Structure formats: structure tokens, C-alpha cells
Amino acid sequence: MTHRYFLSFDFRVALMLTVGLAVVLVAACGGETDEAAPITARTAVPTVTVFSISPEEAEVRLQLRNLFTRQEGIEITAIRQAADTGNPGFIAPIVDLAAAGFANEERAAIADALTRLTGQKFDPTSFNLHEDAYRWLGQHPEIEPVSGYAAWKGDLYSVIDRRFIDFFYEGVPASVPISGAVWGGVGVDGIPPLDNPEFTASDGATYLELDEPVFGVSINGDARAYPLRILAWHELSNDVVGGKPVALVY
């Protein structure tokens, strides 16, 4: 016998209220934390380890550190100097910087550096500067970032959430290029998964319109429907269907 279930509307509302309350609490506490908690050197300026490496590699890592610094004037100079090296390995970190929404002078330096290193013209006034550069880099997987890039990226994103350094570090195992990872707009665990959700029978899903899309899974006679409107809030559901663990990603 096949059993069909739909996510409960009440359960969805409870989750939405819980997430909303969490966001309010984080927002309310965030300002106080920023004022009270000291900013570590690792958060403000990436830590660069130069032990047991060649002078050439040490220079590259110093250049990387200068690409992301809070000291006025150094960053623009570093971007121009990175372009002067002609090393395509600097393209990836400069593409990351293009997403940071800098002022006009910095955007001009970024666009010029990308133009010189890639041979393709990039417009500093374009709203899609980062998107265009990111797309170009994705089309050239043969370009390897300079040594120390993964740790540098962790330091860059640690300004958003300090826990990002746990995902980007030197030697991190990755099946896709680290340069392809971009910030999704939230901190770590900012989008909570829907774990083992509650369900209702198909005739109880009265909150759904007849033409609303759902994702269907059927295993060993156990059928489940995951409405798009619910998954859109979580992007991931971990469940057990027909005795099998299932991860549904949207």
C-alpha cells in the first residue's frame, strides 16, 4: 500500500516563526557584539605564514595579504602590483574582491588588473563586474590560483562570519575549484535545513493550490511530496523515506 504525505502547514508556520525570531535576535545582538568584542588580527588582516617556503612564494603570500587589508591605500597599490606580475594566479583573489562593492577608485583598479591579466576588457562601471569576471574564470579551469589562496579566502570571508575559516584553509580537500565558491548572502548555518519534517495526508494539504509545484519521492511504497514553497525557505531537507535516508536539495 502506498502512503502519500505532505508537509504540514502548521509545522511550516512554526519553523518560519522560529527562523524569523532567530534572525531578529541575531540582528539585535549583532550590533552589541561588534562594539564589545575586539576584532582580532586574523579577522582584520589575513595571517600569512612564510616559514619553510621559498622567498618567491613568501613574496606571493605577502602580495595576497596586501590585496585584503584595512590599511588605506595599500589595497589599491597591491591590486596594481598583482597585475604587474603578470601572474594569472592572482586572477581568482581579484575576482573575489570584485564582489566586495568597493568605491570607484578600487573598482577601477580591479577592472584594470583583470583586463591586464586575462586579456579581456572589463568595465569598472559595470554593475556586473564581478559576475562577468567570475564567469570568465569559470571558463578557464586551467588557471591555478597562487599558493595560499584558500587560506586567504577564508580570511576574506571571516569578516562576514569568523566560522568561514573552517571551510577555507590551506590544503582543504575540494572536488571543485575553491575559486568557484562564492558567498551566498548569509553566515554559516544561515539557512537551516528541514530535518525530519512532519507530514500530513494528501487530503490534509489544503494550504496548497492545485497548480503548486511539489517535489515527489517514492521509495519502497512510501511516497512523500515536498512543496516548493516550503523547500524554498530551507533549500535542503533531510528525511527518511521507505527506510532510506534521503537528502533533497533545492
When the pLDDT of each residue in the chain is averaged and rounded to a whole number, the result is 77
Q: For residue range 131-150, list pLDDT tens digits in order.
A: 999 999 999 999 999 988 99
Q: Which of 185, 156, 49, 147 is nearest to 95 (CA)?
A: 156
pLDDT in 10s for each residue of the chain, 250 residues: 444 444 443 333 333 323 332 232 223 333 343 444 343 333 444 443 333 556 666 676 677 777 766 455 677 888 998 999 999 999 999 999 898 767 888 899 999 999 999 999 999 999 999 999 999 999 999 999 998 899 989 988 888 888 989 999 989 998 889 999 888 888 888 888 888 888 888 888 888 888 889 989 999 999 999 999 888 888 889 999 999 999 888 7
pLDDT at 71: 54
Q: What is the pTM of this model?
A: 0.61
For the stretch 138-152, what's the b/e string if a residue is b when 16 or more beta carbons lie within 10 angstroms of its beta carbon? eeeeebebbbbbbbb
pLDDT at 208: 87
Q: Rounded to an integer, what distance in angstroms lies between the CA atom of residue 27 and that of residue 137?
A: 35
